[in-house]
Chains A and B, each alone.
Chain A
Amino acid sequence: MSDTLVEIKNLAKSYTRGDQDVPVLRDITLNIDRGDFISLMGPSGSGKSTLLNLIAGIDKPTGGMLRIDGEDISKLSEGELADWRASNIGFIFQFYNLMPVLTAYENVELPLLLTNLSRSERRERIEMTLNMVGLSDRMNHYPNELSGGQQQRVAIARAIVTDPTILVCDEPTGDLDKQSASDVLNMLKELNNTLGKTIIMVTHDAHAAEAAKRIVHLEKGELLDEGM
């Protein structure tokens, strides 16, 4: 029996430019199961990042239904949505988006500051997570002292340290060399397989997309087919 985590039905998103409505997503219906690893693929402007943003709760749909773990997140207020993101979503960005003035340790600590964990509990978690991504010896390094691959691993540690329900990855290998990209993809697969994390990844790299269990194609704001 499948355990649906993300339920999307007739989802639409459009932006207003002047007095014109520009549709970005049209009539998207998609279910994502708990523990799934899905790649969203499509050319630029296909709406894949917009769909990812909607699922991650950093943008709001203009129509349709979006339910995550049974909760209709489009009905949450902005503050509630922020709290929801803090406990349910882990973000991995193309350009890592680490705070340059904070060390690897402090960057990973950021989302934990929104929890009620004590300093020692936080320390324990951060050390464990950085160890998982193989950076326990780089804890006190600043982002500019780390390679691109290492920075992305810090970002992965930051994304998983709160044990979120879903990991959303926006072109996580887009800025990496082949070896680092492969390391990152292996790490995502590992997180999906061993910890059962649900991963939704936007990519336009077919090779990267293959790391996922499912590939979903979008074009001109519409869902095309499902590969794999």
Chain B
Amino acid sequence: MKVPFSYIFRNLWTRKLTTILTASGMGLVVFVFAAVLMLDAGLKQTMVGTGTLDNVLAIRTGAETEIQSGITRDQAGLLEAMPQVARSKTGEPLISKETLVLISLIKSGQEKGSNVIVRGVSPMGITLRPQVKLVQGRMFRPGASELVVGRNINGKFDGAEIGQTLRFAQREWTIVGVFDGGGSAFDSEMWGDVEQLMQAFRRLNYSSVILKLADIESFDLLLKDIAADVRLTIDAKREQIFYEDQSRALSLFISILGNVLTVIFSIGAIIGAAITMYSSVAMRTAEIGTLRALGFRRPSILAAFLGESLLLGLVGGLAGVFFATFLQAITISTLNFQSFSQLAFSFTLTPKIVVQTLLFSMFMGFVGGFLPALRAARMKIVDSLRAA
């Protein structure tokens, strides 16, 4: 591009108010777009972080979620005996038989109840989740009606703080500790002893079995062995994949809603940019004629005006992304359609989102500026000089 950048930049700078208003429109769209992407990224990060790649989660064939699933004690025993299951130093299989129930709790300051997952875990269940760390109080004792709560539950629901008790399944459950699930979906769960929870809810079957693979590569072999045993009507998935799948419906919902909003808003912003650029071309007709007379070719004029609208888009994009960074402080708690339970996750800004949103913003600038730039480039020199 032969037309100097200073010419492009200063023309935007000279028309400060118009530039700020147009860029703000674009910034608003970028903000919405970034928010949607950040929400989706936060959701995915939460769900993916919930699983570990060498853990396998087994649920009943045909069940989509742990809540829908049922695994008998016999089936759990068969899984425990599989040669692919890792063993501890003392020879114990690294497997956790778990049960999941949904209870309704009242969110602090609200009147309506929300579903919260209570997960019954075996002692090994905590070892299998290295991302889960106790941050307050102590772990529940096997055989006791005690619970530990995730950090997104602690203090957010009535009766869910250390020392408080919750009443469900005809028992009083004491909260004895708070754990940090490392940003995973476990942060939105409460954990207790699996046997106690099964007794209280009169359950005979587990919901799921989590096992650690001795060799990360032996997953296919495990699937083959499960398929070969007719007693095991079980689907096994890598834990990470399972949780990723769990968020698919919510992720799709966020994406569709967000993208529809973004597209509608962006049409407005593009029209705004086009109006700004058309008026810029109209005001500088004589300048365009002069540049062409001096020897600047049509493509240079096209590039100069396109450059101006791309810069306008970039300014809007940077403003939008800047304000979107503040969203990271917000944690959203909403219903995950697939598990019917509350899931808390944060807006997460990734480098990919920054690049995506800035490119999107410049795309709006490009689309809005293309026709005006084309008009500028196609002007007849003699006609445009007459505008002086």
Contacts and interface: CB of A to CB of B under 8 A. Distances in A.
B374 to A, nearest CB: 15
A95 B11 contact: no
B298 to A, nearest CB: 7
Given A79-B297, A85-B294, A93-B290, A101 B388 contact: no
Contacts of A87: 295
Contacts of A79: 297-298
A82 B2 contact: no
Contact of B296 (A78, A95, A97, A114): A114
B295 A83 contact: yes
A114 B298 contact: no
Contacts of B13: 101
A91 interface: yes
Contact of A99 (B287, B292, B295, B297): B287
A50 to B, nearest CB: 8
B293 A58 contact: yes
A110 B291 contact: yes
A82 to B, nearest CB: 5
A218 B3 CA distance: 37
Contacts, number: 74
Interface in A108-123: 109-111, 113-114
A86 B296 CA distance: 8
B293 A91 contact: yes
A175 to B, nearest CB: 10
A106 interface: yes
Nearest to A87: B295
A110 B301 CA distance: 13
A71 B171 CA distance: 103
A136 interface: no
Nearest to A155: B290
A89 B4 CA distance: 21
A114 B388 CA distance: 23
Nearest to B9: A101
A102 interface: yes
Interface string A89-105: 10101110101111000
A8 to B, nearest CB: 18
B297 A94 contact: no
A68 interface: no
A97 B286 contact: yes
| Interface range, B side | 20 to 34
Interface string B357-388: 00000000000000000000000011001001
Given A99-B287, A101-B11, A113-B4, A58 B381 contact: yes
B297 A53 contact: no
Interface string B282-322: 00001101111111111000000000000000000000000
Contacts of B287: 97, 99-100
A106 B6 contact: yes
Nearest to A90: B294
Contact of A58 (B2, B4, B11, B385): B385
Interface residues of A, number: 28
Contacts of B11: 101
Contacts of A94: 388
B292 A58 contact: yes
Interface string A70-88: 0000000011001101110
Q: Which of A100, A101, A111, A113 has the most CB of B within 10 A?
A: A101
A86 B382 contact: no
B7 interface: yes
B10 interface: yes
B7 A93 contact: no
Given A97-B287, A99-B287, A101-B7, A82 B388 contact: no
Given A53-B382, A58-B381, A58-B382, A102 B7 contact: yes
Contacts of B110: none
B294 A114 contact: yes
A56 interface: yes
Interface in B170-213: none
B192 to A, nearest CB: 70
A219 interface: no
Q: Which of A58, A89, A91, A95 has the most CB of B within 10 A?
A: A58
B293 A56 contact: yes
Interface string A40-81: 000000000000010010110000000000000000001100
Interface of A: 53, 56, 58-59, 78-79, 82-83, 85-87, 89, 91, 93-95, 97, 99-102, 106, 109-111, 113-114, 158
Minimum-distance CB pairs A-B, first 8 = A86-B295, A101-B10, A97-B290, A58-B381, A95-B388, A82-B297, A85-B295, A114-B295
23 contacts: A53-B382, A56-B293, A58-B292, A58-B382, A78-B297, A78-B298, A82-B295, A85-B293, A85-B295, A89-B293, A93-B385, A93-B388, A97-B290, A97-B388, A99-B290, A101-B13, A102-B7, A102-B10, A106-B6, A106-B7, A110-B291, A111-B294, A113-B4
Given A99-B290, A110-B294, A113-B4, 12 more contacts: A56-B293, A58-B382, A82-B296, A87-B295, A89-B293, A91-B293, A95-B388, A97-B290, A102-B7, A106-B6, A110-B291, A113-B3
